[in-house]
Amino acid sequence: MQNNLFRTPVSVEKAAELIPLGSPLLFTGSCFADNIGQRMVDARFPALVNPFGVLYNPVSVADALDSIMDLNYVSEEDLVERNGLWHSFMHHGRFSSPDASSTVRSINDAIIEAHDFLQDAEFLFITFGSAFVYEHKLLQKVVANCHKFPGGDFEPYMLEPDELVEIWKDLIVRLRVFNPGLKIIFTVSPVRHLKDGAHGNQLSKAVLLLGIDKLLALFEKLDYFPAYEIVVDELRDYRFYDKGMTHPDSVAVDYIMSRFCESRLSREAQNYYKEVSKITRAREHRASGHNTPAYRQFVSRTLADIHDLSIRYPAALLEQDRQWFQSILEHLDDDENAG
């Protein structure tokens, strides 16, 4: 009996330009971008993930990239206060703070970091989560985050595919002028936005898919990775969602990553991605706290593995791991000498 008898595997063609090891990667968009981007960070790829925080709609993602390219800094006058915290409607709540100057500083630091990174990035991953946007009635501007302000302050509506295309076709041109070597990969998040209703969620995803498809027809060297299709057409089972039944669980994300790696990473990058997992697992290892021969051997063996990977994969970002385990070994040596 074939393993795929009770499922319909989604065909994922290899990209025309595969991602080599050491290629700077910028991820922006929905929380699904966080999931995939963090796995690349964990694999010690040079990656920057959601510099403005999670962004769900195409308008806010576009606004963020414009701000990054133009170095559009914020000031305290751009912030709003609610429940003792200062917020930016254009940024995620992770920047919010009781101190307005602290919020401004953290946002502007993120803009500078993202600007510098985007200049040298080789791949930009854009994940759209929802075609629904919320326009602040007084500001007459689509916000990235409502920050729990009263719903009556906003006018919600769903974008049309052509609206998405009009915004993004100009932005893609700007991105290619800003960084001529940049390759852009679109995805649609498989996260279900059920606050828009089951039917509304389906319509929203359809808008995103149609808009991206039109952009792919307008521009060369754009790519689309079918994360949404893999979840809804291939996995298509609630056991691959979290308890809230809206977000894909870790099993689903791991499976999507496996399909992503085999279709978007170079052979060397794929091999490295698999091998580096032993280093990341070692970093997560909970030590007993005792200076035992077994633990010293574990640390020494991990340092040897890091050295071996660094020799075979010079582009790998393993220096922090080497320093981490080297400091542990030195601490163990100090304890032994003190005893």
Tokens 């009263």 identify what position? 150
Contact 185, 122 (CB under 8 A): no
> Which residues is 248 bridged to in the sheet?
241
**CATH architecture for the domain at 25-275:** 3-Layer(aba) Sandwich (3.40)
Half-sphere exposure in the Cβ direction for 218 (13 Å, CA): 15
The one-letter code for the residue type at 307 is: H
The gap from C-alpha 234 to its chain's centroid, in whole angstroms, comes to 22
Average pLDDT in the chain: 93
Report whether 323 contacts 335 (CB < 8 A): no
CA–CA separation, 184 vs 120, rounded Å? 13
Alpha-carbon distance of 227 to 31, in angstroms, equals 13
Torsional class of 60: left (φ above 0), alpha (ψ -120 to 50), beta (otherwise): alpha
What confidence tens digit (pLDDT) does each residue in 96-153 have? Answer: 999 999 999 999 999 999 999 999 999 999 999 999 999 999 999 999 999 999 999 9
The three-class DSSP label of residue 64 is helix
In sequence order, what E strands does the chain have? 25-29, 47-49, 80-82, 85-87, 123-128, 132-136, 141-143, 154-158, 183-188, 222-224
The CA R_g of the chain, rounded to the nearest whole Å, is 22
pLDDT tens-digit profile of 36-94?
A: 999 999 999 999 999 999 999 999 999 999 999 999 999 999 999 999 999 999 999 99
* Helices marked H in the chain: 31-42, 58-70, 100-120, 161-178, 198-218, 227-229, 250-264, 267-275, 277-284, 293-312, 319-338
**For helices 319-338 and 277-284, what crossing angle results, to 10°?**
40
Q: How far apart are CA 132 and CA 148, in angstroms?
A: 17
- Using DSSP's 3-state secondary structure scheme, residue 69 falls into helix
**Is pLDDT above 60 for 1?**
no
Cβ(178)–Cβ(119) under 8 Å?
yes
Beta strands in 62-221 (DSSP E): 80-82, 85-87, 123-128, 132-136, 141-143, 154-158, 183-188
pLDDT band at 3 (very low <50, low <70, confident <90, very high): low
Instruction: Look at residues 250, 127, 119, 268 and name the one whose alpha carbon lies nearest to residue 181.
Output: 119
Q: What digits encode the pLDDT tens for the residues 255-273?
A: 999 999 999 999 999 999 9
**Position 339 confidence tier, pLDDT thresholds 50, 70, 90:** low
Q: Are strands 141-143 and 132-136 parallel, antiparallel or unpaired?
A: antiparallel
Q: Is 249 helix (H, G, I), strand (E, B) or coil?
A: coil
Which 8-state DSSP code applies to residue 179?
A: -
- CA gap 317, 115 in Å, rounded: 21
Residue pLDDT, tens place only, 208-255: 999 999 999 999 889 999 999 999 999 988 888 888 888 889 999 999
Kindly list the domain boundaries of the chain, sorted by start residue.
25-275, 283-339
